[in-house]
Amino acid sequence: MVMNMIGKVLRYMRSKNNYRQDEVSKIAGVARNTISQYETETIQPTFDMIEKIANKCGYKVYFESVDGSDRFQSKDIIRKDV
């Protein structure tokens, strides 16, 4: 299940760049303990937080169709207020 993988993905991106949790937490604007809880999957981050952490670590979040014919980032979608 994807929800159970996000913590592992966040930890991988952070570790790959030799960032400490406190460094990522400052950029993300949350407590270091919150980053720890994301990584241990105690709590789930919002999509915006996932993007923020990914960007800090030098990654982009993409969506790709199963057949590979379409690929986009969330910034490519114009968000409307509901």
Model pLDDT for residues 38-82, shown as the tens digit of each residue:
999 999 999 999 999 999 999 999 888 999 999 988 877 766 544
CATH 1.10.260.40 is held by the domain 2-57: yes
Residue with the bigger pLDDT between 75 and 14: it is 14
Q: For the whole model, what pTM was predicted?
A: 0.80
DSSP 8-class letter at 78: P
The alpha carbon torsion through 67, 73, 76, 77 (nearest 10 deg) reads 80
Q: In whole angstroms, what is the distance from residue 61 CA to residue 74 CA? A: 8
Domain parsing of the chain, residue ranges: 2-57
pLDDT in the model for residue 18: 95
- pLDDT at residue 80, as a whole number: 52
- In this prediction, residue 3 carries a pLDDT of 53
